[in-house]
Amino acid sequence: MERLHIILLAIMVIIALGSVSFVHLNQLSGQYAAADKTEFPDYIALFNMTKDSVVEITSTVSDPSEVTIINGVPSSANTTMLGSGFIYDTAGRIVTNAHVVGQNNVVYVTLTDGNTYTAKVVGTDPYNDLAVVQITDNFTGENIVPLQLGNSSQLEVGQYVAAIGNPFGLEDSMTNGIISQLGRSLSDEETGSFSIPDVIQTSAAINPGNSGGPLLNMHGQVIGMNTAIRTDTGNFAGIGYAIPSNQIARIVPILIKNGTYQHPWLGIEGKNLTPDIALANGLARNFKGVVIERISTNSSASKAGLVAATDDQGGIPHGGDIIVSVDGQPVRSIYDIIRYLNDYKSVGDAMNLGIERAGKIIDVTITLQARPPPVLPTSTIPTTSPGFPQIPSFPQFPGFPQLP
């Protein structure tokens, strides 16, 4: 009898353990199911939701002074240039890159159904590589569905994204990846030595022809516009760049209204303090700030009486004002100044600079002027942007020093 009780007790223990294990397995199953939704986004649904809102943009280059490289051979004949864009509103306005439309006043927009329409260039901002075009033909009957802009300030490294565009002329192509970093600074020699701040870095494949197309989150919102790649070959090498949606949201309405966008301009060229520069200027090794190396004539900085370095020996400037804060915000690098100007300041605003000068911290108030117009080159031989030329022509688009 005692043996029977032991056997029954053992059976009850086994049943109890089995029940616990079953509940635990169900919990794990639920966790894995939730994880699957995160780890395996529904790219099919995303593509079907957004593909009709992405367009192809073409234009021509006919000026003999403009040179396009085709298979290594310069050509001055009419050349078809290709890029991407996305529908901004039901009035037929489309957002793309400034380098996609170039200096053209008219481009051609092809929708996903294959219909092509004439579009006028409404406005461009070469400094942020943004442009707006508007269909001028009658597009009644077309399914014009604008894409929604997301909030790029809420992005996180590791977040899934997808790009749609026309790489190498292959229309309606989707690639996927993640946000690989945020807050990059993108340079461009074409716009006269200014940088685009807060650029998104992505691993989604971007190639010539993708320029101007949307970078999407998993809700189908535009969180960036694909604009450039880092490459030695002209093709994607794992790093792409996109203009953040918050810059698009701020600038595009002004381009629609005015045709241009004025950027506030400080008018300096500076260098981040290193331990060597700090020590050479009598400061603590880890003193943070930006030493002013050069000041543009008639700029906001020159009118406020800022002082540039008197000499530069072995890459170490001496004697210049050192910017340590802007409107009370600490400055650790030139990028901090560029980003602050871009995000919070407008032409005509006053800005207070904290300056280290001759061992003292002083405050200098500056009234911000507009940047001078960019001096665009006559040649179209870029080096790093996934620009617009169709195969076999792939000019890439160049980089530029960081001058706020």
Instruction: Report, as residue numbers or ranges, the catalytic residues.
Output: 99, 129, 211
Q: Quote the tokens at residue 112.
A: 């996903």
Burial label, 282 (beta-carbon count in 10 A; 0-12, 13-18, 19+): exposed
Answer whether 260's CB lies under 8 Å from 250's CB: no
Please state the three-class secondary structure of 228-257 as a single string. EECCCCCCCCCCEEEEEHHHHHHHHHHHHH
Sign of CA dihedral 332, 335, 338, 343: negative
Answer whether 192's CB lies under 8 Å from 400's CB: yes
Distance CA(404)–CA(269), nearest Å, equals: 7
Residue 48: partners with Cβ closer than 8 Å, 6 or more residues away: none
Whether omega for the bond prior to residue 392 falls within 30 degrees of 0, making it cis, is yes
End-to-end alpha carbon distance in the chain: 92
Q: Quote the tokens at residue 347.
A: 């032409």
Place of tokens 């590791």: 158
Helix (H) or strand (E) holding 25: helix 2-39
Q: Quote the tokens at residue 230.
A: 């880092």
Distances from the Cα of 333 to the Cαs of 283, 316, 362, in angstroms? 16, 16, 19
Sign of CA dihedral 249, 169, 106, 124: positive
Distance CA(388)–CA(211), nearest Å, equals: 7
Place of tokens 């070959």: 233
Distance CA(62)–CA(80), nearest Å, equals: 9
Q: Quote the tokens at residue 160.
A: 């899934």
Distance CA(346)–CA(285), nearest Å, equals: 34
